[in-house]
Amino acid sequence: MLGLDIAVRTRSTIAIWLAAILVLLSVAASAHSISHLEEGHKTHCTLCFHQHQLNKLMPGTGLHLDAVKQSYIRVSFTAPSWQATHVRLFNSRAPPATA
């Protein structure tokens, strides 16, 4: 169970860091585009040029994945039970309580 807990914690940590990086990159991209406003439209850098070219690569439609329903076999059985008397293996008592 410890390995599963570490895996879940690692995934959550990675997800939080990726979300933080996404916010940081969003702010950096908007600040970068504002820096070109004073210089005019013709002075875009190569970063802006490549972003304009690569902007059309991601599809605009949603991702559709077919859900696979997992099935299982129902098994019914009776667990054996028995009554046993308690056996003390070591006969001892606690030390006396001091008043």
Per-residue model confidence (pLDDT) at position 55: 65
Residue 64 has pLDDT above 60, yes or no: yes
Residue 17 has pLDDT above 90, yes or no: yes
Per-residue model confidence (pLDDT) at position 93: 75
- 33 Cβ partners below 8 Å, 6+ apart? 48
Kind and range of the H or E run holding 75: none
Determine the longest span between alpha carbons in the chain, in angstroms: 94
**Is-contact 6 21, C-beta < 8 A?**
no
**Is-contact 32 47, C-beta < 8 A?**
yes
Per-residue model confidence (pLDDT) at position 8: 82
Residues 86-95, mean pLDDT to the nearest whole number: 76
Residues 49-60, mean pLDDT to the nearest whole number: 63
Per-residue model confidence (pLDDT) at position 81: 83
Question: How far apart are the C-alpha atoms of 33 and 44, rounded to whole Å?
Answer: 9
